[in-house]
Structure formats: structure tokens, C-alpha cells
Amino acid sequence: MNVDLLYRKISCGVLVRRSFWQSRIPATLLCLCLLWHSFPSLVSATELSTSSVNSRRTSLRIGSFNIQVFGESKVNKTFVRDTILSVISRYDIIFIQEIRDDKNKAIYDLLDQLNLGSGRNYKALVSSRLGTGEMKEQYAYFYDSAVVKVEDSYVFPDVKDDFSREPFVARFKGQGRAFTLAGIHIAPLKVREELRALGTVKAHIDSRFGDNNTFFMGDFNADCIYYKPIEGFDFFDEAPRLMIHDEEDTTVSPSSCAYDRVLGFGPIQNYTSEAQPFNFMQMFDYDLANAKLVSDHFPVEFSIEGTGEMDEIVPIPNKPVPVDEDNAAVIVDGPHLQKPVELPSITPDENACGLEPYKTPANYCYGSFDGKKKRVSSDCCL
């Protein structure tokens, strides 16, 4: 038998003639084969490296959330509280509006639960009670003190009485950036007047901090029946960056309204993303009735690119175990459930206040239903 006709099997599973094997070419082939066999381990190493990199981040995450009549009642409802905690734990800084708690207790209970659930070190800036008559509210900033520091904070001195609830201003510094947040909940019947008055607030901020790296944020009620976005937001000494666009929907409602806004100024905009609503109803797979137990608004969010690395945010789990409290329940995916839990419906009486209830000068209470104004119970405006 001619040995040159013999075939030899090499590690790659390739058969070659012995004469071919005795040449220099197989050495190259063998190296390529060995490299091919080691490729999966190289890929795994790359994936591990990428995974390690992805566990770090460089952007600060900032949010604004109108939690609709936030007080002890919401804190004491497990489903509602846990959903709120899951939402706000997404952020390094979050501006919270519509706190109505004359005991000043619910917001600090929420802060304690946030730190307990997230393992982070959030601190709070809480304003005094603002507003006229019985419709007083508080604002709050929750911020991760390991990531950002507060340089200053104050309620804008509204000597002209332009605002129903004065803006709450806070100066933050972290990850190589310094910037100012000016949060406000604009009264539905004074949108134009209060938007125009924000120009004075910006001038005050620019003078106080020596730069214009500022974001105005909050529930502006700047859409639908309260304001026509075509009128614009150019009420300042420079054109603002409109970070929430008019076509966005920030309401937990069948209607589509961009009530919640973010306006940006200054060179920091070069490092800032667009803003967008966080649709927790869709993200957490809630129906409309259960989502409205949390709020009639979605939070809006954006990020600022920093110069250093931070640990990745791990939000508090968003699907608590179903409970039967005040008609609140939620579908949970997990091995501990044999079948989905049916979400109970809410009777009309429990959802009769509509969107953004407000009191008229004649002390009548009105709410918005699918973009239409309707008189509702005076209890809705307490």
C-alpha cells in the first residue's frame, strides 16, 4: 500500500495525505485549528469583560414625578408604595411633587423604605408647605448622597406672588458636573402666567450660582385643555431646550397630554440626553385602574453624562406579591404563583376625581376626563 495515500487525522477533524502532512503548510493549518477550538473561550472572556464594563455607568439619572396627592394613605398601601419605590429607585435624583401630608411624615417614611429596599444612601430636601388656602403641597428632592452632593437649596422668593406654589431650587454637584434643578407644579388655571414668570426665576438662579446650567422640571400642565404647546416656552433670556416633546404622553389616562416637562439651559446640555416619560403601567404590565392607584402621571427622566464611573443602578423589584387591600392587586411572574392573579376593577365612585382636580375661584372643584372639564366632589380638591 502506498503510504502517500494514507490519510492522517489531525485535531481539527481534517483528513490529509501523509505527503501533505510532511510539508510546512500543516503547521499553519494546525495553528489555525487550535485557534478555532480556543475561540469559544476567547468569546467567553470577552463577554465577561463586557459584562464587567456594563455593570458600571457614567451617567447621572434624574427624574421628576407628580405622585398625585401623596400622603400616609399611599404609603400605607403596600402595592402603591412598592410601585412608587420601584420607580424612584431608578434615579440618582428625583423631584417629587404633590406631597399632601400636614404631619410631614409620609415622605420620610418613603425615604426610609427607599434606603432599606435599595441599599443606597438617599437623603431628602423637603420644602415647606406651599400654596394658598387648603390646597397646600410640598416638594421634595430625593438624592443619592454617595453620587451627588447638595451645594444649596431654597424656595424661590416670590415677592410678586406670581406662583400658586413657588419653585423649589436645588444646586447639585457630582461626577464632575454642577447644575441647578428648579422644580415646580404649575397651577392648571395659571399656566401662561406662571410659565412667563419662570424667566424671573432663571435670572435669579443665574445670578446666584454664576452659570446657566439649569433644568426647569415638573408638572407644568402645559398641554391639552390648559395650554396650547404652539404658544411655546420662550419666556426666558435665552431659548430653552424642550426636552419633553409635545407629542409625548405623561399622563396615566386614555387621553394623551404632555403635562410634565423639562426645559434645559446652558453648556451642560452638551452632556444631557433627551427626556422621556417612564411608562410604569406598560413596563410593569398594570391595567389602567391599578396604575391610577399609583398616580395620574408618569415620571419623566433624563441623564447627564459624567466624568467618572458609578455602580449600575439596580431598581427595587417592581412586582410585589399580590395583596387584597383596597381593591389593589398586581400580576406577578414567578414560581410562587400557580396562575395569574385577576386584577379587580375599580368602581366609578373610587375614580371620580378625574385628572388634575382643581378648585375654581368660586370654590367649585373640577377634574379632567378625557380632555374635558367636569365638576366633581369637593373632596377631590382637599
- Active-site annotation, residues: 137, 185
| C-alpha–C-alpha distance, residues 332 and 38, integer Å | 42
Buried b (16+ CB within 10 A) or exposed e, 317-334: ebbbebeeebebbbbeee
In whole angstroms, what is the distance from residue 174 CA to residue 184 CA?
23
Dist CA 156 CA 176 (whole Å): 26
Residues 6+ apart with CB under 8 A from 2: none
- Sign of the four-CA dihedral 367, 372, 375, 376: negative
Bridge partners of 266, per DSSP, are none
- Alpha helices (H) in 55-105, listed in sequence order: 72-75, 78-88
CA distance 299 to 88: 9
